[in-house]
Structure 1
Amino acid sequence: MSSKSSKFPYVILILAFIMIGFGAYNLNKMPDSKYPNFNADFSLHSGDKSVSFSDLSGKVSVVFFGYTHCPDVCPATLVNFGKALKMLDEDERNLVRAVFISLDHDRDTPETVQKYTNFFHPDIIGLTGDDKEVAAAAKSFMVPNEKNKPNAKGNYTMNHGTYLYIIRPDGKLGELASHKDSAEKIVASLRKWIKWAE
């Protein structure tokens, strides 16, 4: 038997291992984002620290915009945030960040927003900032940021959009969810990306 023919089975074996490894790599590779043009960013403040979008890197995040005086959508959504976090086990919860950003910088201070979110779950990060910081955050997420006309008592509502942004560990948008989604559906959306979190 020639040396070439005796080496042939080894070459086949090596190629097989390479193909298996390549297949396993592709199975474990995070899929391409369906939203390649999404480039979110923010630098805002909670009650005790500043938080930037880059601080969420490596985790799976769900981000929602609103304000503490919101009469319906915001509290209902935050109730679901809290329920979803409670449904995750401790290991999963360590890989998830839930973020609520107030657009109402005239009435909501960082301390007010954090106290508000703590009512729904202590792990929800409440953030806001000054006019420019809030406007920049809203623009990067393509979120409406409009103060509606005040009533006779000076009270007003905000147009803030109703999407929940599920952010992948690489900072790209994983999916857009509805504020009407159940806690179970939010958990399913988060778990879709948790395996790539660190």
Structure 2
Amino acid sequence: MTRTQKAVFLIAALIVVIMGLILNNVLNAKRPPSATELIDAGIILLPQSRTVADVTMTNQNGQPVQLDELKGKWSLLFFGYTYCPDICPTTLAQLRQVKSELPKQALDRLQVVLVSVDPNRDTPSQLKQYLGYFDKDFVGLAGSVEDTQKLANALSIPFIPADTSKPGYTVDHSGNLAIVGPDGSQRGFIRAPFDSKKLVARLPGLVRGD
């Protein structure tokens, strides 16, 4: 085999390998992730979808919002608060990072919602300013403690209301996310702590379906 023939052979072999990788990525992109792959990414789907309590809250723009109005997109609901010293800023920063790496098709079908467990301090203006530090498209919601507990309990992400009479109080809450489908029903959870790379790999396949 001449030197030219060897070069042509190597180039042809390289093209075959590249085409194989591209084909594999395309096929994997079209294939929904398996339950094992989802669990490995911390995504736990419910055997049956669950009805979400339809409470009315106020968003970061001061507008009343019913949970039904979140329909049409996949929603990741995080129960936290703006005065949280650790888990909330960490979680929102991770979600911002995940969003920045998702393909546009997935982004168009996904929204992140912070449900305040501290409505005493989380006014609309406070929520708007706080979420603006992370992502202007994040949605912030706050309602009465009773309605917030009703929603959190329905999603199996409970929190312990704080004693607001204590200065500098904190609120005990979960770091998990509730996954709500475009039909408004809960589809599952994302367990904390999160693996951003695995979420970037698996969320597009999850939010592709209805």
TM-score (norm 2): 0.69
CA offset at residue 163 of structure 1? Answer: 0.9
| 1:107–1:150 CA distance, 2 compared to 1 (3 A) | closer
Unaligned runs of 5+ residues in structure 1 are 1-26
Identity %: 28
Instruction: Give the Å deviation of 1:112.
Output: 1.1
The 5-angstrom pairing of residues 139-158 of structure 1 reads 139-148=153-162, 154-158=167-171
Query: Any idea what SS the aligned residue of 1:36 has?
Result: strand
Structure 2 runs not aligned, ≥5 long: 1-30, 36-44
Partner of 2:58: 45
AA aligned to 1:127 is L
Q: Closer, same or farther in 2 for the Cα pair 1:63/1:136, shift >3 Å? A: same
**SS of aligned partner of 1:100:** strand
The CA deviation at 1:70 is 0.8
Written as runs of structure 1 = structure 2, the 5 A alignment for 1:1-198 is 34-36=46-48, 38-41=50-53, 42-48=55-61, 49-148=63-162, 154-197=167-210
Counterparts of 1:52 and 1:189 in 2: how far apart (Å)? 29
Residue identity matched to 2:156: M
Q: Highest Rg: 1 or 2?
A: 1
Q: CA RMSD in A?
A: 2.6
Runs of 4+ residues over 4 Å off in structure 1 = 148-151
Matched residue type, 2:134: F
Q: Say how many residue pairs are matched.
A: 167
- Paired with 2:137 and 2:197, the residues of 1 have a C-alpha distance of 18
Distance 1:108 1:101 in 2: 10
Distance 1:192 1:67, change over 3 A: same
